[in-house]
Structure 1
């Protein structure tokens, strides 16, 4: 390939990615879901921040406002750029822990609910440092591009210039430097990368960065932390500022980051990755030699292959092991394993914030995320229970915010961590039969609580506590409703404490590797229990056999190991403070009392921020309509305004449009008006000859749509259903040939459109090409009830049925679709057509029956230079039938094969492209072409 053609390919691919990048750069962490209308919003305006928050979160907002003002200068110091004022939404309606910063519109969102597994610091403090660093990055690179016209362009430039690993790695470096904790201090966080390197699994830059479907690779956060930290170690903290300053001066430079990195260091990104790998390998091999780990037997045994884990092992009375099985080829499930390694599935689980379950006395409980059926910004964490003896399942709680349930020894009660909408922490005792709360035990000083566990008597509970001082172990005496500190504040990630006779066992990382430790509460001494190679987690004590079961991390996931209770290596240290020390939370920042006012959504619905080449709807690349659009989105995702201009080169005509979408209440409403040119044709008979005359006109079209979308979760099943209806008014004028005016329909008055749909799908495993089971139904009806001059009806019925294929991750899809048309709709098609329909002889379509069998072929993880990184090849067979009815020969109209690949282009983490070709055989008499190919490109994020 010559250089000219090579550059043409790069420019074409960059054009595709930039068209969609501003929409998807951070779409993995934020979306356009709505908040419930019942939330009463307030705001605090400081000099540099606008905090928008629910009224119940007043205290947290006041504290955070002071912290943000204090952190602003420290976070921006190494980039020498103080950020402009930004709006921050404190989102307390979700049970998930996250955060994001975005442009178009410019805002940040803090998900305030703390996680059940985290580093050893206050959640909101960590979030503030990390997300504020992203704000500084935005303004450093694109701060000159602002609303009301250029925020989307700024977001596209940001995403196109900075690799995801760099902007996230830099933020993790910052959160680690500016706090006493941070993910950079956690051995569990670096563990997959460390395990790979010291096990000889040294992967390419693209594989480590973009990921793999067949191997464990470091996430781009982890990879980015080490690549960025290594840069600062060798070239000083100013290197980040130098890189971003150069990129900002010429943001359209191809491979801008790698080019700038090469200029300042002599290494491009691939070479810097290789150098960092080498440095880390030496460091971690030396650490491994110093620790002199013990090789424990692992269970179940399997050859290294696709990632697979058995988490949270616990011994059953009959000697078998119950665990949470995670596997890229299947959805997560609680399973029971016998001594030979054979396993039986107990129950498939739904989506969890953190992997978790608890077993006692023949029952299993676990927590799952549920979302509000209408408002996606509201989620819940519910408690589920499964009885192994009766093999029955029930959901104990609904619309709850309970986390990390643990059964008492007789399984009659469950203790959970409860987090209210104002982040008030408690332990709550539930009845296992009814799910009703028996007692509530508020956390002293509102310390963050994580993963409680009962003692063998069911009268005490041990729990991890997190505050600004670090992590601690606390014990609740249920009878007296009092807490005491059993292990005072540690600069450690203390996880999943549990009782083992007179000791408490837990995970920590005192020697730089995650290992199990035991706290002798009578002697106030900590003993190291394990000395593993990579990491030990999730201890559970088997009193019958006096053993401790735990997870032992391996190259391809978590396995199960055990050791005899009483085994230890050495006394590591005595706790530095006494257990009776007070529950102090020494905040370093004094909270100021800020003025607080109501935030009125209606006063802020107009917020123009960007000019765009599209209306910001990139769901389908085939449906992109290039033009010029002015976009307005309010900060709370309730209202979208669009003003646009499109020039249609096919008919050489302009279109002007304006639309508004309002999504706050239960139905979603949208109103659109467009003025557009149209073309058509009419038959004219003159002197016995029939001629076709071209016609042109313009029309005003106003469309009103109402949607009611609903979503429901249950275990590993997802149901989406809804109803939509639409109507419009069309006024036509400016007919190019007045002789046809009498035959010209100048108004179309309120045609009606209705759609009702119901979809049920089982959750997909990572490697599944489609749901193993699924049913989808959609009914659409169109007619003209208010216009006597026009008649016509269209009724269409679409279905889709997913079945498991012959082998794992294969999928069979069968679709039957039917339509009934008359009048104006006689020639319209409202159902999926057979493959290659536009290449076949035109025939009226009454129904279609479409079969598609798809399967993975290989997972190559191939890099084609910097152009593409291919993760998977997949293939399929299809047979498409048309007008299936009695009396017709049952044979496909078209059939053939398809070949597709999942890939990343130009080393961009997103979007994930799906590019493929279909080879189609036309099974009919005298086709235009007997065999032909069609090509397609899609993407996901």
Structure 2
């Protein structure tokens, strides 16, 4: 669940056949597709929001502005956001399989508890200078001003606090949520505040949700429920001007910001060191940086396990790990997936992998893949499916998987392991949600189950009739990651401050002692004879633990004791002051049709764009269903001193997309002999065909565009009497293709990738003229895993008649000045780049700029420019190096900038062969 300050909508993401309904009242509009049975979820969202608007408003402010919440049922990604520009929220309705991360509350209800806090924040942050930014620049201006005044950790920490306060399973009540910081404390990783705020490319740093929750919870506990209301009120008004948020904390807590944040962390850290050392924390202390993740280990034989390994340098892949020697044998890269879960039996791995829909951005799939461990070959056995957490049977003939329908309704499907055909659909009359099912025997599956109220248990499900045998009483205690070995079912259960390992042996419950890790959670465990394997959460990654167990390691636990309510990890008095808001699907709201054309032209912001020499100011718009993007703009070019006024629109409710644009350019001039001045009118009507083929081990996108353009030249001033006005039509067409492998955190570019663009323009009326430009880039691995070799190329051909010359985007070798390309009919260029990291500083200055990485690039460029007359040609050659700084500004905005030295190997008269340049982002205030 995230708050977004950037464009987060998926443009044109739904088939035009989709029809929409709404619950619409004075404070909220909940929009959802017809015919999927989403009325109950929409009702609960509306009811929950209306309760929150009354119950939690006093802690942030009582201002309320109506918002549209769009329920998105077709994506497999569990997420949501609230954003301005335009003002809306979108809930992805797919529940997550992992119950420990976000809990087991009804997913749409949990989203409402969290995301509406962001709505309340935005509603009450349009004040003072933030209000001025809104009047000057619209919703985007307000968003920028708010995010500059209030740190991202507060936005998310405050929302996590609300979901914790108003539910029985918010993240502040889950031990898993605190693994991150507890692992740092136990490994003596004492990072600076700026590192905790900005992260690292070499060390594990918890996200701003966790940091924010600790700060927000401490502030409310120590200084009262209205503390943050007062702090943020001052901050968004920019009281104190510089560092207004820090100024507000000092004003209302009477201590410095530095003291406050230190006290907040120590408040939660207290008690962590009292647990003493253990093997896992000692191992993490010995790791200088993040070592990598070992996940979901499963027995192959008594000495070998198969698991998924990944690190900041390596993308996830399957490995065989020898427990005796500690050596790894790589099997195959894991296809693009939402998590690293998989299942293994008898030489075959089965897992769910992500695939995008070819046309619609709000639709994607989760397909089942089967891999042979002995050959490394892998195949997809389901298509256009939404299957999760598959498990293969002991005989290798069947697979059980969780099938999740749009909106979150779950069932168990039994699939043919060879063809993927559905053999059985297991009845689910109780509407339970299943997590990580495992075959217990040929007719029974063991799985974690949850109800719509968030109650959990481990259960046996008969695959013939759907009968459910509860192995433990339902409770709020989260259980998950079951594993089966003979008559023993092992699983993980949420504990007070540590997620524990438990086992059911002939239905008797035991807790397994884990002396190797006493401070964080233990997961994904399995027993074989007198040994167990599991992964422990550490500051250096999920660490594989092998442990011998005897009778003394298995401590009996009564079912009643297990299901008793456990204390939350960090008891806070403020969390006991309000009653939770329960799920309410029965409130009698009126449901009506939502018309797609409603507020279709929706201008919401004014944006300045700077991409020297062009300085642009635009009025931009987009509707809530993200099917129409509109822009009206004024541009000034500092090179030619001309002005341009234009408008454009893209309509994405149909396929292909329809594009329309018109622009008038004033005061163009050409100072060469003869001197000319003129105005231009340009209009365009086009089509766009975007395709996405993400799946397997590659991300792939194909975009085909075409259109007809009207171009009109009207000469002005003295040129009116010397030149004839011109008008003509030309068509343009382009094809762009990108494909790339997955990228690890430290990799600058993918180890394999390819991008290609080809564009052709041709006058079709009374004049002559054409231009064809093709460019490409090939990404290859370098000497080290974080190095990249990038080979680029470009070719441009144009006519020499001279009736009209199209603008050129041909890349001249670095270091050379721009040349007049209009008279050059043939040009080609090749470039070689070798990118590599230099250092990871993890260093910041004054909470203004933070340096994550310094990297270098050595390059060589060659271009050949040819004229037809007299076989005349030019060669441009240059070599040099670049140094880039990957930074974060104001703890939030990623900016890369650098310096370039170029040596012109073919000297030009009047130019120094040694050229130095400062490299800024293409558009720092980018579109």
Q: Distance in 1 between matches of 2:501 and 2:222?
A: 35
* 8 Å CA contact 1:677, 1:696 repeated in 2: no
1:731 counterpart = 2:712: yes
CA distance in 2, matches of 1:88, 1:668: 25
Tell me, in whole angstroms, the C-alpha distance in 2 between the residues paired with 1:652 and 1:251: 40
Query: Displacement, 1:734?
Result: 5.6
Partner of 1:12: none
Counterpart selection for 2:586 from 588, 591, 594: 591
Residue from 157, 160, 172 that aligns with 1:169: 157
CA displacement, residues 470-522 of structure 1 (integer Å, 9 cap, x when unaligned) = 32212202244311211223333322122344343211233421221123454
Which residue in 2 is equivalent to 1:934?
A: 917
1:528–1:572 CA contact under 8 A, matched in 2 = no
Shift of 1:25: 4.9
- The answer on whether the counterparts of 2:472 and 2:559 sit within 8 Å (CA) in structure 1 is no
Q: What residue is the counterpart of 2:572 in the other structure? A: none
Please list the CA deviations of residues 415-468 of structure 1 after superposition, one character each: whole Å capped at 9, or x if unmatched. Answer: 111110132211111111011111112434322221111125563333332542
Partner SS, residue 244 of structure 1: helix
Q: Which range moved further: 173-182 or 304-313?
A: 304-313
User: Where does 1:173-572 land on structure 2 (aligned, <5 Å)?
Assistant: 173-250=161-238, 253-286=241-274, 288-289=275-276, 295=279, 303-317=287-301, 319-338=303-322, 339-455=324-440, 457=442, 459-520=444-505, 522-523=507-508, 525-531=509-515, 532-543=517-528, 545-564=529-548, 566-568=551-553, 570-572=555-557
CA deviation after TM superposition for structure 1 residue 160, in Å: 1.5
Q: Secondary structure at the match of 2:461?
A: strand
Instruction: Write the distance in 2 (CA, Å) between the matches of 1:700 and 1:693.
Output: 22
Q: Distance in 1 between matches of 2:192 and 2:482?
A: 38
State the alpha-carbon separation in 2 of the partners of residues 919 and 153 from structure 1: 37
Which of 827, 847, 850 does residue 866 from structure 1 map onto?
847
Report the count of equivalent residues.
888
Q: Distance in 1 between matches of 2:757 and 2:633?
A: 31
What's the counterpart of residue 877 of structure 2?
A: 893
Assess if the C-alpha contact under 8 Å between 2:641 and 2:667 holds in 1: no
The equivalent of 1:769 in structure 2 is 748
Shift of the 239–297 alpha-carbon distance from structure 1 to 2, 3 Å rule, reads closer
| Cα-to-partner distance string for 1:268-323 (whole Å, 9 max, x where unaligned) | 5444333333333323223x25xxx7536999998443340110001103631100
Post-superposition Cα deviations, 1:602-661, rounded to whole Å, max 9, x if no partner, equal 2431222233335xxxxxx62795444332211111001222334555555543222221
Alignment pair present for 1:917 and 2:896: no
Q: Does 1:656 align with 2:649?
A: no
Checking the alignment, whether the CA contact within 8 Å between 2:182 and 2:520 is kept in structure 1 is no
Matching residue within 827, 842, 857 for 1:846 = 827
Query: Gaps spanning 5+ residues in structure 1: where?
Result: 1-22, 580-584, 615-620, 684-691
Instruction: Measure how far apart 1:557 and its partner are.
Output: 0.4
Higher alpha-carbon deviation: 324-333 or 294-303: 294-303
Q: Name the residue aligned to 2:791.
A: 814
Deviation at 1:29, TM superposition (A): 5.5
SS at 2:477 equivalent: coil
**In structure 2, distance between residues paired with 1:285 and 1:276:** 16
Deviates more, 1:874-883 or 1:890-899: 890-899
Distance 1:776 1:609, change over 3 A: closer
Q: Structure 1 stretch 674-683 or stretch 553-562: which is displaced more? A: 674-683
What corresponds to 1:875 in structure 2?
Answer: 856
Instruction: Tell me if 1:744 matches 2:697.
Output: no
SS in 2 for 1:191: helix
| 1:753 to 2:732 alignment | yes
Query: Is the CA contact (8 Å cut-off) linking 1:470 and 1:489 kept in structure 2?
Result: yes
Distance 1:340 1:36, change over 3 A: farther
Cα distance, 1:731–1:30 mapped onto 2, change above 3 Å: closer
User: CA offsets per residue over residues 328-371 of structure 1, 9 Å max, x none?
Assistant: 10111111112322222222123322221100111101111111
Note the aligned Cα RMSD (angstroms): 3.1
Q: Are 2:625 and 1:636 aligned?
A: yes
Greater shift, 394-403 or 63-72, is seen at: 63-72
Query: Which residue does 1:18 correspond to in 2?
Result: none
Residue number in structure 2 paired with 1:601: 596
Q: What TM-score comes out, normalization by structure 1 length?
A: 0.88
CA shift for structure 1 position 526: 4.2
Which residue number in structure 2 is paired with residue 9 of structure 1?
none
**Structure 1 partner of 2:141:** 153
* Contact 1:699/1:733 (8 A) holds in 2: yes
5+ residue gaps, structure 2: 565-579
Per-residue CA deviation, residues 211-253 of structure 1 (Å, 9 max, x unaligned), is: 0011011101111111111111211111111011212333792
1:795 match: 772
- The aligned counterpart of 1:139 is 123
What is the rounded CA distance, in whole Å, between the counterparts of 2:392 and 2:439 in structure 1?
Answer: 7
Instruction: Indicate if the aligned counterparts of 2:187 and 2:285 stay in contact, CA closer than 8 A.
Output: no
2:683 paired residue among 696, 702, 706:
702
Aligned to 2:570: none
Q: Does the 8 Å contact 1:508/1:515 carry over to 2?
A: yes
Deviation at 1:573, TM superposition (A): 4.0
**Partner of 1:446: helix, strand, or coil?**
coil
> Is the alpha carbon distance of 1:272 and 1:678 closer, same or farther for their aligned partners in structure 2, counting shifts above 3 Å?
same
Q: For residues 421 and 120 of structure 1, do their structure 2 counterparts lie closer, same or farther at Cα, with a shift above 3 Å needed? A: closer
In 1, are the aligned partners of 2:167 and 2:581 still within 8 Å (CA)?
no
For 1:246 and 1:838, locate their aligned partners in 2 and report how far apart those are by CA, in whole Å. Answer: 50
- Specify the alignment match of 2:573 in structure 1: none
Aligned positions of 1:563-582 closer than 5 A: 563-564=547-548, 566-568=551-553, 570-575=555-560
Query: How far apart, CA to CA, are the structure 2 residues paired with 1:732 and 1:826?
Result: 13
Structure 2 CA distance for partners of 1:632 and 1:34, relative to 1, 3 Å? same
Match of 1:86 in 2: 67
Q: Is the 8 A contact 1:627 1:645 kept in 2?
A: yes
TM-score (norm. length: structure 2): 0.90
- Of the structure 1 ranges 171-180 and 300-309, higher mean CA displacement relative to structure 2 is found in 300-309
CA contact (8 A) 2:664 2:682 kept: yes
Is the contact made by 1:764 and 1:770 (CA closer than 8 Å) also made in structure 2? yes
Q: Given the superposition, is the C-alpha separation of residues 817 and 567 from structure 1 closer, same or farther in structure 2, using an over 3 Å criterion?
A: farther
Closer/same/farther in 2, CA of residues 115 and 921 from structure 1, 3 Å limit: same
Distance verdict in 2 for CA 1:496–1:196, change over 3 Å: same
Residue 792 of structure 1: how far off its partner (Å) = 1.6
SS where residue 852 of structure 1 aligns? strand
Shift of 1:808: 1.5
